[in-house]
Amino acid sequence: MTMTSTDDATLLRDRGLRVTSARLAVLRALDGHQHSTADDVVRAVRDDLGSVSVQAVYDCLHALSAVGIVRRMEPAGHPARYERRVGDNHHHVVCRACGAVSDVDCAVGAAPCLLPSDTHGYAVDLAEVTFWGLCPACAAESAPAGEPSSNTP
Protein backbone atom coordinates (compact mmCIF):
# COMPACT_ATOMS: atom_id res chain seq x y z
CA MET A 1 0.00 0.00 0.00
CA THR A 2 2.99 2.33 -0.28
CA MET A 3 2.64 5.14 -2.75
CA THR A 4 5.32 7.25 -4.33
CA SER A 5 5.16 10.97 -3.77
CA THR A 6 4.10 11.38 -7.41
CA ASP A 7 0.99 9.39 -6.61
CA ASP A 8 0.47 11.43 -3.47
CA ALA A 9 0.80 14.66 -5.44
CA THR A 10 -1.84 13.40 -7.88
CA LEU A 11 -4.04 12.37 -4.97
CA LEU A 12 -3.82 15.84 -3.44
CA ARG A 13 -4.60 17.55 -6.74
CA ASP A 14 -7.51 15.20 -7.41
CA ARG A 15 -9.06 16.24 -4.10
CA GLY A 16 -8.50 19.90 -4.85
CA LEU A 17 -5.61 20.39 -2.44
CA ARG A 18 -2.45 22.26 -3.26
CA VAL A 19 0.63 20.04 -3.27
CA THR A 20 2.98 21.19 -0.52
CA SER A 21 6.08 19.54 0.88
CA ALA A 22 4.46 19.49 4.32
CA ARG A 23 1.38 17.63 3.06
CA LEU A 24 3.54 15.13 1.18
CA ALA A 25 5.68 14.62 4.27
CA VAL A 26 2.59 14.03 6.43
CA LEU A 27 1.38 11.40 3.95
CA ARG A 28 4.81 9.74 3.96
CA ALA A 29 4.80 9.73 7.76
CA LEU A 30 1.43 7.99 7.79
CA ASP A 31 2.61 5.50 5.16
CA GLY A 32 5.26 4.38 7.59
CA HIS A 33 3.03 4.34 10.62
CA GLN A 34 -0.74 3.90 10.64
CA HIS A 35 -2.73 5.18 13.63
CA SER A 36 -0.19 7.90 14.37
CA THR A 37 -1.01 10.66 16.79
CA ALA A 38 -0.45 14.24 15.65
CA ASP A 39 2.68 14.26 17.83
CA ASP A 40 3.99 11.15 16.06
CA VAL A 41 3.41 12.86 12.73
CA VAL A 42 5.17 16.05 13.88
CA ARG A 43 8.22 13.99 14.88
CA ALA A 44 8.27 12.06 11.60
CA VAL A 45 7.82 15.18 9.48
CA ARG A 46 10.62 16.94 11.36
CA ASP A 47 12.91 13.96 10.71
CA ASP A 48 11.92 14.20 7.08
CA LEU A 49 11.87 17.93 6.33
CA GLY A 50 14.07 19.33 9.06
CA SER A 51 11.79 21.86 10.67
CA VAL A 52 8.07 22.35 10.57
CA SER A 53 5.70 23.95 13.04
CA VAL A 54 3.26 21.89 15.05
CA GLN A 55 0.48 24.10 13.74
CA ALA A 56 1.49 23.39 10.13
CA VAL A 57 1.22 19.65 10.75
CA TYR A 58 -2.17 20.05 12.43
CA ASP A 59 -3.34 22.13 9.48
CA CYS A 60 -2.18 19.40 7.07
CA LEU A 61 -3.91 16.67 9.06
CA HIS A 62 -7.09 18.71 9.16
CA ALA A 63 -7.06 19.39 5.41
CA LEU A 64 -6.23 15.78 4.55
CA SER A 65 -8.96 14.40 6.82
CA ALA A 66 -11.51 16.88 5.48
CA VAL A 67 -11.14 15.52 1.94
CA GLY A 68 -10.97 11.89 3.03
CA ILE A 69 -7.34 11.15 2.12
CA VAL A 70 -6.66 10.55 5.79
CA ARG A 71 -8.98 9.02 8.35
CA ARG A 72 -9.11 10.44 11.84
CA MET A 73 -10.32 8.41 14.77
CA GLU A 74 -10.40 9.55 18.34
CA PRO A 75 -10.73 6.86 21.01
CA ALA A 76 -12.32 8.34 24.12
CA GLY A 77 -9.65 9.40 26.61
CA HIS A 78 -6.80 9.01 24.12
CA PRO A 79 -5.33 11.37 21.53
CA ALA A 80 -6.73 11.29 18.00
CA ARG A 81 -5.07 8.87 15.57
CA TYR A 82 -4.59 9.33 11.87
CA GLU A 83 -4.28 6.70 9.17
CA ARG A 84 -4.24 6.35 5.41
CA ARG A 85 -6.40 3.26 5.31
CA VAL A 86 -9.67 4.89 4.27
CA GLY A 87 -12.94 3.90 2.68
CA ASP A 88 -13.00 0.22 3.65
CA ASN A 89 -15.23 0.53 6.72
CA HIS A 90 -12.66 -1.17 8.93
CA HIS A 91 -12.94 -0.99 12.68
CA HIS A 92 -10.52 -0.60 15.55
CA VAL A 93 -9.63 -2.39 18.72
CA VAL A 94 -8.18 -0.04 21.33
CA CYS A 95 -6.23 -0.88 24.47
CA ARG A 96 -7.89 0.80 27.43
CA ALA A 97 -4.59 0.96 29.31
CA CYS A 98 -1.94 2.14 26.82
CA GLY A 99 -4.08 3.37 23.93
CA ALA A 100 -2.57 0.96 21.37
CA VAL A 101 -4.78 0.70 18.28
CA SER A 102 -5.13 -2.16 15.81
CA ASP A 103 -7.25 -2.52 12.71
CA VAL A 104 -10.14 -4.94 12.67
CA ASP A 105 -11.27 -5.81 9.19
CA CYS A 106 -14.90 -5.35 8.37
CA ALA A 107 -16.43 -8.82 8.57
CA VAL A 108 -18.74 -8.23 5.63
CA GLY A 109 -16.50 -6.21 3.33
CA ALA A 110 -18.96 -3.44 2.56
CA ALA A 111 -20.36 -0.57 4.57
CA PRO A 112 -22.37 -0.62 6.70
CA CYS A 113 -21.32 -4.05 7.90
CA LEU A 114 -23.47 -3.63 10.97
CA LEU A 115 -26.99 -2.32 11.29
CA PRO A 116 -28.51 -0.87 14.45
CA SER A 117 -31.43 -2.68 16.02
CA ASP A 118 -33.41 0.49 15.36
CA THR A 119 -32.34 2.95 12.63
CA HIS A 120 -34.85 5.59 13.86
CA GLY A 121 -35.61 6.16 10.20
CA TYR A 122 -32.02 7.13 9.33
CA ALA A 123 -30.48 5.91 6.09
CA VAL A 124 -27.47 4.24 7.70
CA ASP A 125 -24.46 3.89 5.41
CA LEU A 126 -21.53 3.47 7.79
CA ALA A 127 -20.73 1.61 10.97
CA GLU A 128 -17.67 2.64 12.93
CA VAL A 129 -17.05 0.25 15.77
CA THR A 130 -14.45 0.66 18.50
CA PHE A 131 -13.72 -2.49 20.46
CA TRP A 132 -12.15 -1.86 23.85
CA GLY A 133 -9.96 -4.15 25.90
CA LEU A 134 -6.37 -4.76 26.90
CA CYS A 135 -3.59 -5.33 24.38
CA PRO A 136 -1.51 -8.50 24.91
CA ALA A 137 1.31 -6.55 26.62
CA CYS A 138 -1.01 -4.77 29.06
CA ALA A 139 -3.02 -7.94 29.69
CA ALA A 140 0.17 -9.80 30.58
CA GLU A 141 1.21 -6.97 32.90
CA SER A 142 -2.12 -6.77 34.69
CA ALA A 143 -2.57 -10.54 35.13
CA PRO A 144 -1.96 -11.43 38.75
CA ALA A 145 1.07 -13.72 38.98
CA GLY A 146 0.19 -17.38 39.40
CA GLU A 147 -3.54 -16.78 39.06
CA PRO A 148 -5.23 -19.50 37.03
CA SER A 149 -7.05 -18.07 34.02
CA SER A 150 -10.41 -19.52 35.04
CA ASN A 151 -12.99 -16.93 36.00
CA THR A 152 -13.81 -18.06 39.53
CA PRO A 153 -15.45 -15.17 41.39
97 binds Zn ion (CB under 5 A): yes
Stretch that binds Zn ion, among 36-44, 52-60, 99-107, 118-126 (CB under 5 A): 99-107
CB 17, CB 67: distance < 8 Å: yes
Distance of CA 86 to the CA centre of its chain: 9
Window 18-37: residues binding Zn ion (CB under 5 A): none
Measured distance CA(74)–CA(83) in Å, rounded: 11
Which of 66/98 has CB closer to Zn ion? Answer: 98
CA-based diameter of the chain, in Å?
60
User: Which of residues 100, 111, 113, 114 is near Zn ion by CB under 5 A?
Assistant: 100
Strand residue runs (E) in the chain: 36-37, 71-73, 81-83, 91-95, 101-104, 130-133
Stretch that binds Zn ion, among 20-28, 56-64, 79-87, 108-116 (CB under 5 A): 79-87
Residues that bind Zn ion (CB under 5 A): 83, 95, 97-98, 100, 103, 135, 138
